Amino acid sequence: MALLDKFDNVRQQREALLASGVDPFHVPVEAVHSATRARIDGREVILAGTNNYLGLTFDDQCHRAAREALADQGTGTTGSPLANGSYHDHRALEAELAGFFGREQGLLFATGYQANLGMLASLAGPGDVILLDSDCHASIYDGCQLSGADIVRFRHNDPASLEKRLRRLGDRVSRTLIVVEGLYSMLGDTAPLERIAELKREYGAYLMVDEAHSLGVYGATGRGVAESLGVEASVDFVVGTFSKSLAGVGGFCVSNYEVLETLRYASRPYIFTASPAPSVVAGVRAALGVLRQSPELLDRLWANAEALYGALDELGYQLGPEVSPVIAVLVDTRDEAIALWQGLLEQGVYANLVLPPATPEGKALLRCSVSAAHTAEEIRWISDGFARLTTGREPFALADAR
């Protein structure tokens, strides 16, 4: 087999997708008007497919902080953290994140993907064991592979499956890292962290939780699913990203273990990547401040999530197993999903199309991401778009939407 022959299957799948007459993975976002409105492929649409959970991408405080940093510090650091890329604001954000989570240490990465790569490839190595939920994000799988540790999967959100594997490890359990996510981004379901934390304590393993999609969404102060379930003390490492609720780009880990400071000299994805741009860091610091000062954002986010989930459930769509700001609409075939996605776009609603093998259980789905910035009228427009595709009823009027 020649070098490039391995891509034949992917090429054939792409050609079959294009034969449908649409290319849903190459749709241009021509203009972004606000946290919830944009122009896509010539249409004015409601954005129902972003991870902008708190709607802070257009927040005045975030904009002002980013503009000031851009003017004062330039467009980029042009260097890695161990060279010239650690500015005062980078270290300040690390300290603020650690304080927000009630931890001793914080470490920034250029992306959330690299946070998982950098932590997993450094924390575990040959002879160690990583136990991970089978539905974990690709960045977690890639970090596990880079580590050289023994990788053992357990069934998604199944503590009994996890315990069976812990029991088999015997003395190796002290060299074992359990890895789960707080909120899973495909189906919008949360990890049973109470039982997972209990097993971690009982067997003496370590626990890392990726709160990428749950930061700013769960818990009284928005720290994530571990906070909402009261098990933060059992989580050894919290990983997350700025590209969801904090409306930026970058990633982080916080922990009480001093090893986090040591990883500055051992984590290759940290050492050999340019540090985040000053404007991004300043915007994220401002967003973290808004999150701390504005608990009403979480209330609005959950009111919108419950409203859209309830409306789609009433219409008879097959949804993810629980209400969350990630609302998955499952369909049986790829063609059905493409038709639904295209129909929604024509109705002025942009959602995410997700096809196998990226989806659980081989099903296709459309993923809606709800924001605190969505108005009640916009939530109704989104649900009405789904309704029009199933009932053919006429749309209600949405101000400035078309």
CATH code of residue 286:
3.40.640.10
Same domain, 211 and 238: yes
Return the pLDDT at 401. Answer: 44
- Domain annotation covers residue 218: yes
Q: Dihedral of CA 23/29/34/37: which sign?
A: negative
CA atoms in the 13 A half-sphere facing the CB of 311: 21
Same domain, 300 and 205: no
Question: Which residue type does 389 have?
Answer: L
Same domain, 236 and 206: yes
How remote is the C-alpha of 2 from its chain's centroid? 36
Identify the burial level of 195 via C-beta atoms within 10 angstroms of its C-beta, where 0-12 means exposed, 13-18 middle and 19 or more buried: middle
Same domain, 79 and 97: yes
Return the pLDDT at 221. Answer: 96
Helix (H, G, I), strand (E, B) or coil at 133: strand
Same domain, 142 and 209: yes
The Cα 344–Cα 15 span in angstroms is 23
Phi, psi (5° rounding) for residue 272? -105, 25
What are the E-state strand segments in 117-213? Answer: 129-133, 150-154, 176-181, 206-210
Q: Which of 213, 234, 243, 245 is catalytic?
A: 213
- Domain annotation covers residue 309: yes
Q: Which of 185, 245, 267, 279 is catalytic?
A: 185
How remote is the C-alpha of 52 from its chain's centroid? 10
Same domain, 213 and 278: yes
Phi, psi (5° rounding) for residue 13? -65, -40
Q: At what angle do helices 376-391 and 296-314 cross, to 10 degrees?
A: 10
Last residue of a domain, one of 267, 293, 319: 293
Number of domains in the chain: 2
**Count of beta carbons in the 10 Å neighbourhood of residue 274:** 15
Return the pLDDT at 26. Answer: 81
Return the pLDDT at 20. Answer: 75
Same domain, 272 and 374: no
The model's pTM is 0.94
Same domain, 92 and 105: yes
Residue 275 annotated to the active site = no
The Cα 63–Cα 19 span in angstroms is 42
How remote is the C-alpha of 220 from its chain's centroid? 19
Residue 134 annotated to the active site = no
Phi, psi (5° rounding) for residue 30? -80, -30
Q: How many residues does the chain have?
A: 402
Q: Which of 90, 137, 244, 374 is catalytic?
A: 244
Domain membership of residue 310 as a residue range: 19-48+295-391
Same domain, 23 and 89: no
The Cα 133–Cα 112 span in angstroms is 18
Question: Which residue type does 358 have?
Answer: A
Q: Which residues contact 310 (CB under 8 A, 6 or more apart)?
A: 323
CA atoms in the 13 A half-sphere facing the CB of 237: 27
What are the E-state strand segments in 26-69? Answer: 29-32, 37-40, 43-47
Last residue of a domain, one of 293, 320, 343: 293
Residue 244 annotated to the active site = yes
- Domain annotation covers residue 259: yes
Last residue of a domain, one of 264, 293, 322: 293
Residuewise pLDDT in 10s, the chain (402 residues): 899 999 998 899 888 888 877 787 788 899 999 999 999 988 999 999 999 999 999 999 999 999 999 999 999 999 999 999 999 999 999 999 999 999 999 999 999 999 999 999 999 999 999 999 999 999 999 999 999 999 999 999 999 999 999 999 999 999 999 999 999 999 999 999 999 999 999 999 999 999 999 999 999 999 999 999 999 999 999 999 999 999 999 999 999 999 999 999 999 999 999 999 999 999 999 999 999 999 999 999 999 999 999 999 999 999 999 999 999 999 988 889 999 999 999 999 999 999 887 787 778 999 999 999 999 999 999 999 999 988 655 544 455 543
Same domain, 248 and 149: yes
Q: Which residues contact 357 (CB under 8 A, 6 or more apart)?
A: none
- Domain annotation covers residue 190: yes
Return the pLDDT at 399. Answer: 53
The Cα 50–Cα 57 span in angstroms is 11
Return the pLDDT at 167. Answer: 97
Residue 347, domain CATH: 3.90.1150.10
